[in-house]
Structure 1
Amino acid sequence: MLELQQVSKTIGDKQIVHDVSFSLDKGKSIGLIGPNGAGKSTLVKLISALEKPSSGCIHFFGEDVQKWSVKKLAQHIAVLSQDGLAPYPITVYDAVLMGRYPHLGFFQREGKKDHELVEDVLETTGLSEFRDQMLDTLSGGERQRVAIAKAMVQHPQLLILDEPTTFLDIGHQRQILNLVQSWQKREGLTVLMVLHDLNLAAQFCDELVLMNQGEIVNIGTSEQIIARETLQSVYQTDPEIIRHPKSNIPQILL
């Protein structure tokens, strides 16, 4: 579905991403992890065609993403940043409805099916009671949930999350990631998420891509990546690895 082939990005005389290659299969959830400055967010911008690679190529369904129009790309890829939706003075309903814009023609208004889809998504995400509330009156966690709803009505095949839980408390972190996971399993959605919290990455991702200094260090399951020696070399710290009491996946204590 998505394939990166020796992708590099240089800004000035600094190489931000260097020869990155990996593929993402349909229906999988991949966690992009690594320390600050590893090149994760830059890679997300390259995948979503917000920036152009200095070398290498990124193929989405066999076609270079740089050849896709902005509107066509938005019909297939939804991107959610750590900031979520800006607190504009519009209603939650209208903010979610904006997710249908990539699927409308020039001067075309939203139809009955678009509004029905918004209603269904508001119900699914537990936002029906907020439908008429102004976006700028919501908390950060609530706005992030609205951003997920907007992405859901966009009907993408690939959802890219760039540190979606950074500013959220643990309750909202769990809520957002559970919402994404349920959506993924229900519709076969493909997810690429950048996460700083390695414990969340291990719990919610099928596979992890570990980056450091613009390069891929390792790709594998949480069992393969969440290992003391690997984390020591990348994060320059000595973690204690324990087992989650329910799922038995590796978790980190400092």
Structure 2
Amino acid sequence: MPLLDLQNVSKTVDEKPIVNQVSFSVQKGKSIGLIGPNGAGKSTIVKLISGLEKPTNGLIQLMGKDVQQWSVKKLAQHTAVLTQEGLSPYPITVFDAVLMGRYPHLGFFQREGKKDFDLVEHVLETTGLTAFKDQMLDTLSGGERQRVAIAKAMVQQPQMLLLDEPTTFLDIGHQKNILNLVKDWQRRDGLTVLMVLHDLNLAAQFCDELILMNKGKVVDIGSSEQIIAKETLEQVYHANPEIIRHPKSNIPQILL
């Protein structure tokens, strides 16, 4: 049974179809890239999966159960979400910001204990943030705050991580850092990842499988070899790209 399963999912807003009859499944431990032009419905899919919005039609199941039947707190025990904005620059320490990831696992009126604090210390070390732990979140750069957001998600200990354009506002150094953190986490703990990415080269490098969307529909699903193809990209993006091979990994990469 797949960890995540979407069956004929549609979302209509003001009689306009945003997502139209979308079906796909995600197996545990896989990294899936959701790609497509602006307005394809990618971010709406993430909101529907995370329970922030309800589908107009169709069914979304996490671990065999309709996500609409999960409580917000219970869903957060299994799924973490990271957007392009990351964490807001609140005047709290990095340690306290990361510790907030433990909230879904605490009972009513329960305070964090030694186990929670130890987990935060371990994750800060894993993400290279130990030196920042007493620094205020609002003094960090966007890339550093995004790394804190990843650490907070790690402390949440989800089975699935949803990433909606996590590298949009970051330079190439921070982009690589964030996606490498996620990839290492996926390999280490068997994490399942669904990430929305505009950069097709990054998607090809960091995802096991790609789901190409356009105008609310799934156009194609497959490996980067299948999806990063001249004819397919011309049809969806209305551009004429040159496709070359990465000199180390040999995966397809795009030049405009």
Q: TM-score range by the shorter chain?
A: over 0.9
**Matched residue type, 2:223:** T
Q: Which whole-Å CA distance do the structure 2 matches of 1:194 and 1:13 have between them?
A: 25
State the Cα distance separating 1:175 from its structure 2 match.
Answer: 0.2
Question: Which residue of the partner structure matches residue 69 of structure 1?
Answer: 71
State the Cα distance separating 1:184 from its structure 2 match.
Answer: 0.2
Kindly provide the CA deviation profile for residues 201-229 of structure 1, in whole angstroms up to 9, marking residues without a partner as x.
00000000000000000000000000000
Kindly provide the CA deviation profile for residues 86-106 of structure 1, in whole angstroms up to 9, marking residues without a partner as x.
000000000000000000001
State the Cα distance separating 1:13 from its structure 2 match.
Answer: 1.5
Question: Which residue of the partner structure matches residue 49 of structure 1?
Answer: 51
DSSP 3-state at the match of 1:153: helix
Aligned length: 254
Kindly provide the CA deviation profile for residues 96-154 of structure 1, in whole angstroms up to 9, marking residues without a partner as x.
00000000001100010000000000000000000000000000000000000000000
Question: Which residue of the partner structure matches residue 7 of structure 1?
Answer: 9
Question: Which residue of the partner structure matches residue 87 of structure 2?
Answer: 85
**Matched residue type, 1:63:** K
**Matched residue type, 1:103:** H
Structure 1 segments of 4 or more deviating over 4 A?
Answer: none
Q: Which whole-Å CA distance do the structure 2 matches of 1:201 and 1:92 have between them?
A: 29
Question: Which residue of the partner structure matches residue 193 of structure 1?
Answer: 195
Question: Which residue of the partner structure matches residue 178 of structure 2?
Answer: 176
TM-score (norm 2): 0.99
Cα RMSD (Å): 0.3
Q: Which whole-Å CA distance do the structure 1 matches of 2:72 and 2:11 have between them?
A: 21
TM-score (norm 1): 1.00
**Unpaired segments ≥5 residues, structure 1:** none
Q: Which whole-Å CA distance do the structure 2 matches of 1:13 and 1:22 have between them?
A: 24
Alignment of 1:1-254 (within 5 A): 1-254=3-256
**Unpaired segments ≥5 residues, structure 2:** none
Q: Which whole-Å CA distance do the structure 1 matches of 2:148 and 2:81 have between them?
A: 13
**Matched residue type, 1:91:** T
State the Cα distance separating 1:251 from its structure 2 match.
Answer: 0.1
Give aligned-pair identity as a percent. 79
